[in-house]
Structure 1
């Protein structure tokens, strides 16, 4: 791949441009908002100009509602050898393209499973896709050359290709992406009118659950409008669990011992099923999830403190598998939770104490 045209210079389009440009591809940028294209170009994602001849690859990173017409128009203009989109919904788009007379041999629907709660070119990074799954929804009609272009794109972005049927993809993202976005927003909405004293108690749990609620609403309306059925199916099953959980909690509030016991069993059931489902989420590098122990260290909110604690862990020969930071309310301090293998806990704890760190609960 020597040249590419990125149409749509938001987070995904600009990040793709940055990754391709870093690896020597001539990238052209186009956006209906000229200022956004200029911003992406200034960041190094490509050049804000039209190609003089057909490019190897045209990549569409526009809202789902605009994708079909954008692809059809580009094909009529002969802009590229191959046409890929990076929209988050595939089935309805594929049917719309077929109905519109799309040359399906030169088109391939894709979806990088990467993103941020922020949007726009200024949030883009060249390593956004590194190590992340990138779904390809190839069909029997997909030309081998176009499939190879898509695989080259994914390789240049250092992502991991995953082949899926378009409708299976839409059901999957409804479960693992679209529904979690809605649930995050619903929980965060409960905070809108909450008492200030309650909000001040927010800890890491509520921060984790509501992180993606900061996403752009208009963007998510576009995404959900393109995949309403599968998302509604998942929410329907969640509603059944939610109704049962409400009844269980009401039963726990009863004066009848039998009802309280029944409520406790129902709550335990949903919590256990949650344990089982959580255990299926892939772990580090997509491997079987591992159970790590946590070493919690008190840390001040000062420059260089995180670097120092990581350096001390490295000097002790301990690999940090994961890390979380829990900020203290009203103080310039917090706790860093270092996740390590169980056998590394005593080694790391002793080494950190020796270097003057204060450990919590150990």
Structure 2
């Protein structure tokens, strides 16, 4: 791949363009808002000039509702040898293309499983896709050359290719992406009218659950409108669990001991099933989940403190597997949770204690 055209310079399109440009591909940028294309170009994503001849690959990075129209227009103009989209829904756009008589031999649907609650070219980064799954959904007639171009794109963005059927993909993202977005938004919506005293008690748990609720509503309306059936199916199952959980909680208030025991069993069941599901979430680098221990360090909120903690852990020969930070309410301090393999926890604890860090047991 020597040349590419990125149509749509939002977060995904601009991030892909920056990655391709950084690896020697001549990237042309196009957007219905010329200002966004100029911004992306200024960030090093390529040039907002018009290509004078067909490029190797056109990357369509527009909302799902506009994918088919944009692809059809690009193909009619002969802008590229191969075409792909990066929309988060695959089945609907493909059916629209088939109905419109689009030449599917030059097309492959794709979806990088990466993103952010932020949007637009200014949120783009060259490493957005690094190590992340990138789904490829070729049609039965997709040309081998186009598949190879798509695989090259994934490699240049340092993502991990995963081949899936389009409809299977849509059911999967309904479960692992689209439904979590709605649930996060619904939990966050409970805070809108909550008492200030209650909101001030927010801790890391509510921050974790509601982080993606900061996402752009207009973008998510587009995504959910393109995948409503599978998302509704998952939500219906979730609604059943919610109703059973409500009934179990009501039973805990009953005077009858048998009802209370039934309520406890119901709550315990949903929590245990949650445990079982959580352990299936891939761990570090996509590997099977591992068991870790947490060493909690109390630090002040001042320059250099995190660097000192990491440096002291490194001096002790400890690899930090993950890190979480929780800020104290009303104080310029917080807790840093250093996640390490179990056998490293005693060594790290001793080393940090020796260097004067306050540890929480």
TM-score scaled by length of structure 2: 0.99
Q: Which residue of 2 aligns with 1:341?
A: 341
Unpaired runs of at least 5, structure 1:
none
Deviation of 1:278 (Å): 0.3
Q: Which contiguous aligned blocks of 4+ residues in structure 1 show a shift greater than 3 angstroms?
A: none
Q: Which residue of 1 aligns with 2:292?
A: 292
2: CA distance between counterparts of 1:273 and 1:177?
19
Q: How does 1:244-283 map to 2 (within 5 A)?
A: 244-283=244-283
2: CA distance between counterparts of 1:186 and 1:11?
24
Q: Which residue of 2 aligns with 1:301?
A: 301
Q: Which residue of 1 aligns with 2:201?
A: 201
Unpaired runs of at least 5, structure 2:
none
1: CA distance between counterparts of 2:36 and 2:57?
21
Deviation of 1:337 (Å): 0.4
1: CA distance between counterparts of 2:121 and 2:92?
27
2: CA distance between counterparts of 1:305 and 1:102?
57
Deviation of 1:308 (Å): 1.0
2: CA distance between counterparts of 1:120 and 1:177?
19
Q: Deviations over 1:148-202 (max 9, x none)?
A: 0000000000000000000000000000000000000000000001111111111
Q: Which residue of 2 aligns with 1:65?
A: 65
Q: Deviations over 1:340-362 (max 9, x none)?
A: 1111111000000111110001x
2: CA distance between counterparts of 1:305 and 1:25?
40
Give the paired residue count: 361
2: CA distance between counterparts of 1:99 and 1:289?
43
1: CA distance between counterparts of 2:307 and 2:145?
46
Q: Deviations over 1:58-106 (max 9, x none)?
A: 0000111111000011111100000010000000111110111111010
2: CA distance between counterparts of 1:291 and 1:144?
42
Q: Deviations over 1:218-240 (max 9, x none)?
A: 00000000000000000000000
1: CA distance between counterparts of 2:46 and 2:255?
68
Q: How does 1:31-70 map to 2 (within 5 A)?
A: 31-70=31-70
TM-score scaled by length of structure 1: 0.99
Q: How does 1:11-22 map to 2 (within 5 A)?
A: 11-22=11-22
Deviation of 1:283 (Å): 0.4
Deviation of 1:140 (Å): 2.0
Q: Which residue of 1 aligns with 2:10?
A: 10
2: CA distance between counterparts of 1:267 and 1:38?
54
